[in-house]
Amino acid sequence: MVFCFFFNLYIQLFSMDVNDLSKFKHLFIEEATNLLNSMERIILNLEKNPSDVELIQEVFRVMHTIKGVSGMYGYTAISDLTHHIENIFDLIRSGSLKVDKEILDTTLMVVDHLFALLKDEKVEDPSLALKQKELIHWCVQFIKDAKGKIFIKEFVESDSELVTYNVILHTHQSVVDRRINLFYAIKDLAAIGEIKNISPLPVQDDNEERWSIFIVGDFSFDDIEEALMFVYEYCIIRKVADYNIFDEEQSDIVHEELEKEELDYIATSNRPKSTVINKSVGSNTNKVIESIKQNITRISVDSSKLDYLMYLVSELITTSSQLNISSRSNSVATMLPHIQKLDRLSKLFRNNALEIRLIPIGDVVPKFNRLVRDVSNSLGKEIEFVTEGMETELDKSSIDMVTEPLVHMIRNSLDHGIELPEERLAKGKSEKGTIKLKASSSGNDIFIEVSDDGKGLDKDRIIEKALEQGVLDRSEDLSDEQVFNIICKSGFSTNEVVSSLSGRGVGMDVVKQKISEMRGELDICSRPGEGTKFTIKLQQSIAILDTLLVRSGKMKFLLPLSDIEVCSQMLYSNIDKRIKYSTVDFENELTPFVSLRNLFDISEEKPKMAKMVVIRKNNKRLAFFTDEIVGQHQAVIKPMGELVKKHEEISAASVLGNGEIAFLLDTNMINQNVYKKSAL
Amino acid sequence: MNNTISNSYLLFRLQEELFAVSVHKVLEIIETGDEHHITHLPKAASSIAGVVNFRGDVIPVVNSRLKFDMDNYSEGEKFVVIILNLQINEQEHVVGLKADKVVDVIEIKNEDVKPIPEVGQGYNSDYIEGVVNRANKFIMLLNLENAISSNEIVKLKEDTVED
């Protein structure tokens, strides 16, 4: 892949105007984005198999490529940073260093940072610049340490002299006025010790900034004072400990502290937070959703599909010229075969276009992997993320839309589903929780499941909370399904502690809303103590649908062909007799029915016979009665806009060949309504 | 503030009232004159006349007389459909608006736009941005974004007393 990229770029560089670099810049950004995306996957794999030489080579190659090409386009910050990472992986490659968590964590941070740098070429964002310095500093330090270790071999370093200081740097307007470069101060700090953490603190207004810096090293208070000479009056310096608090054992305490600070920050400020080297868990969901959206502006297509497209194009051109010639003859008979061929071709084009738009759901999985990894780390939970059926293909637009609900669902499982390790052991489960993402297809339907082996949904607690929060007004006689649906109501949350992750009462309602926007179904299944399973059912393609066109009076309606089981007919007079029962006898089975005439108050004169279309939805049969079955229609689905969005029975419209409008019946809703009614 | 800037407005009539809407929002005027061009959408709100096929898209048409609490069009009465592109909550909404007749396109100076009169008939300032007096006729500048995005029947006059 890496070589391909090089190859592509060089081919294009030499075959086109070399001076016109801006064109290639665009190409560079896209390809670099792809490479960085692949980095996430590689690093997560590397975490599982730390000694895999192939993977280490791959990281090295990717970094090397990015370094080389970014330099060409003037992305000096990127080439700088990748150079350092490349060095580290060079050491690993040569066997002098071993892959460890610190390296991987930092590499992931670097990847995130590089993503940001792609958008901010000149590093105009000060927090980015700061992070850049920090990351490079880490790399330099790391290599220095590593080289030191290589020389000293097994000699133990004496770390008894280490102290940890915290510096709060408060910069307001006067700093800017005096043109003091804060970075020099930080650089000087870095010279006396190791900067372990830099994070922003809440501020009162936009002109000021507050940073918290943790520094570890063998130095005295005077050293710090000297390093901060120019900004001393803006600093609060305090000694935190007589040891390195960032040592393995102590790190938890600091994280807790920082998390508290973060929460305070969130509470006091609505501004987006840019944490420098600390993991910013709070914005994770949005980050993931955002990055997936960016991810799929370009899709890679199986070349055989493109070959087929070319074949279709050549057929189209031939057919249209044949049609041109035959149109001179003025005879319909000579034109007819060509018109038929054109018709057939347009169907093939449609299928081809739809296929090209299909992408495997696995393309977004690395992002989910990353989410699970980061969030479970910060929650102190051990979670394995398992996937199945990731080759299942979905329309690009569906993937874009389904990502957000999936992120929310996975986070729900992370946050509420999987218990803490101790809790799991006490319950006799394995320490490690599992979250599973499974996709499968059947016909035009796609099923996506997010399941966990956590504590499951607590029915009583949901009811209790729902009553408390006013989303429910009675607690008796609720089926499992009804209770589970409560969690999809807006403003509902059972989490008492508002963590930075979820529990803010947004989440499941967004999931439900997004899925119904895609005309999908959401099913929740849960057993106390055993886990929860969310299943999303979607149509593979939502833009074009094969439908059956029917007519009642003057109105035309469409039924999704995939729902239809059988068509038949019946006397209208018989139906009228059964209307109050809402069921008819069909194939010796009492079948609920809907007469489109009754449903939509169509009063024009009735024909004698009614046509019957039987559909199957959620494994339940439902019959529709209408005047006429017109035929099959490939419906290009058109939304009707916000104004008529809340329509219960009609979900969209489609324009027929003659310009008329037909309405797509929402078989889901109608089915639900009919069965709800018959249950009463 | 420069008050001499003028803008073009499309002037249309609903019963006896004259309304104006900025021409920038108007995409097209369909002089249908007959009911068959609008596909009735069953079970929709009464103020929705139906949907039309506009350049291959399906867009809703608002029955403005019902929307603004006036008497409905009688059988066979002529009307036009003004296709508008409105920005509601930062989203583009293409909607049709039934009107009795398109009267004119006129220039209205910003300085001529008067706030709605506070005495007499109380006009609802949510839906009317201002009034212009032209040849002794009052023209109401509609805030269609607010009117359309409201699900309710919009009362342009706050008190229903007619003179």
CB-nearest partner of A649 from B43, B52, B57: B43
CA atoms of A191 and A227, how far apart (whole Å): 8
Digit-coded pLDDT (tens) for A172-197: 666 655 656 666 677 777 777 777 77
Domain spans in chain A, listed from the N-terminal domain onward: 1-154, 158-280, 281-541, 544-679
Q: How near does any CA of chain B get to the CA of A31, in Å?
A: 32
Percent of chain A at pLDDT > 70 equals 75
Which residues fall within 8 angstroms of residue A46, CB to CB, at 6 or more apart? A52, A55, A56, A59, A99, A104
- Mutation target to probe the A interface, by most A beta carbons within 10 A, among B32, B43, B154 is B43
Mean pLDDT of A138-166: 63
Residue of A nearest to B46 (CA): A644
The domain defined by A158-280 carries CATH number 3.30.70.260: yes
Measured CA to CA, the distance from residue B145 to residue B22 in angstroms comes to 12
Is there a contact between A644 and B40 if contact means CB atoms under 8 Å apart? no
- Rounded Cα distance between A146 and A144, Å, is 5
Nearest to A417 by CA among A459, A454, A376: A454
Task: Please indicate whether residue A394 or residue A558 has the higher confidence score (pLDDT).
Answer: A558
Please report the pLDDT score of residue A203 as a whole number.
65
Rounded to the nearest 10°, the torsion over CA A408, A413, A419, A421 is -90
pLDDT > 90 fraction of chain A, expressed in percent and rounded = 6
The residue with tokens 């649906």 is A485
Question: Chain B partners of A642 at a C-beta cutoff of 8 Å?
Answer: 88, 91, 93, 149
Task: Report CB contact under 8 Å: A654, B58.
Answer: yes
B48 contacts A643? CB cut-off 8 A: yes
Computed from CA positions of residues A38, A43, A46, A47, in that sequence, does the dihedral angle turn out positive or negative? negative
CA dihedral B120, B126, B129, B130 (to 10 degrees): 0
Domains of chain B: 6-149 (2.40.50.180)
Locate the chain B residue with the closest alpha carbon to A659: B53
At A250-260, the pLDDT tens digits run 444 444 554 55
Query: What is the C-alpha separation between A233 and A171, in angstroms, rounded?
Result: 10
Strands of A531-539's sheet, edge to edge? Answer: A383-388, A433-442, A445-452, A531-539, A521-527
B82 DSSP β-pair partners = B29, B97
Q: Does A663 touch chain B (CB under 8 A)?
A: yes
CATH number of the structural domain A1-154:
1.20.120.160
Q: Provide the β-strand partners of residue A359.
A: A394
Scan residues 544-573 of A and list those with Cβ closer than 8 Å to B: 555
Q: Is A543 on the interface with B (CB under 8 A)?
A: no
Nearest to A600 among B42, B59, B148 (CB): B42
- Say whether A158-280 and A1-154 share the same fold: no
Residue of B nearest to A601 (CA): B42
pLDDT of residue A304: 85
CB contact under 8 A, B60 and A555: no
- Token digits for A333? 């008979």
**Mind listing the pLDDT tens digit for each residue in A608-651?**
899 999 998 767 889 999 999 999 988 888 877 767 766 778 88
pLDDT tens digit sequence for A395-432: 887 887 888 888 888 888 888 788 888 888 888 888 88
Nearest to A643 among B43, B57, B60 (CB): B60
Is pLDDT larger for residue A544 or for residue B41?
B41
Confidence of residue B82 (pLDDT cuts 50, 70, 90): very high
| DSSP-derived 3-state class of residue A49 | coil
Cβ-defined contact of B60 to A661 (cutoff 8 Å): no
Average pLDDT over residues A600-608: 86
CA–CA min distance A67, chain B (Å)? 40
Chain A hits for B40, CB-CB cut-off 8 Å, are 555
Under an 8 A CB cutoff, do B51 and A640 touch? yes
What's the pLDDT tens digit per position in A309-330? 999 999 899 888 888 888 887 7
pLDDT tens digits along A59-105: 888 887 787 777 666 777 888 888 888 888 888 877 777 888 888 88
- Measured between beta carbons, the chain A residues lying within 8 angstroms of B45 are 644
- Is residue A347 predicted with pLDDT exceeding 50? yes
Please provide the CATH number assigned to the domain covering A281-541: 3.30.565.10
Q: Which residues of A touch B57 (CB under 8 A)?
A: 638
CB contacts of B51 in chain A (<8 Å) are 640, 644, 653, 661
Rounded CA separation B105/A220 (Å): 80
Which DSSP string do the residues of A156-218 spell out, in sequence order? PPP-TT-EEEEEEEEE-HHHHHTT--HHHHHHHHHHHSEEEEEEEE--SSTT-EEEEEEEEES
Best A643, A648, A656 member to test B by mutation, with max B CBs in 10 Å, is: A643
Q: How many C-beta neighbours within 10 Å does residue A218 have?
A: 14
Question: How close does chain B come to A659, measured CA to CA in Å?
Answer: 7
Task: Identify the CA nearest to B125 among candidates B105, B94, B146.
Answer: B146
Distance CA A14, CA A11 (A): 5
What are the tokens at A114? 């590089």
Question: Is residue A643 within 8 angstroms of chain B, CB to CB?
Answer: yes
Chain B residues inside the 8 Å CB shell of A648: 43
Residue found under tokens 């927090």: A127
- pLDDT for A291 equals 60
Residue A650 and residue B53: Cβ atoms within 8 Å?
no
Whether B42 has its CB under 8 Å from any CB of chain A: the answer is: yes
pLDDT at B12 over 90: yes
Cβ contact B43–A647 (<8 Å): yes
Which of B43, B56, B95 minimises the CB distance to A643?
A: B95
Quick check: A500 pLDDT over 60?
A: no
Mean residue pLDDT of chain B comes to 81
User: What is the C-alpha to C-alpha distance for residues A425 and A556, in angstroms, rounded to an integer?
Assistant: 60
Q: Which single residue is written with the structure tokens 């093939």?
A: A348
Strand pairing report for B26-30 and B80-88: antiparallel
Q: How many residue pairs bridge chain A and chain B with CB atoms within 8 Å of each other?
A: 62
The percent of residues above 70 in pLDDT, for chain B, comes to 82
Superfamily grouping for domain A544-679? SH3 Domains (2.30.30.40)
Taking a C-beta distance cutoff of 8 angstroms, is the pair A636, A530 a contact?
no
CB A427 within 8 A of CB A379: no
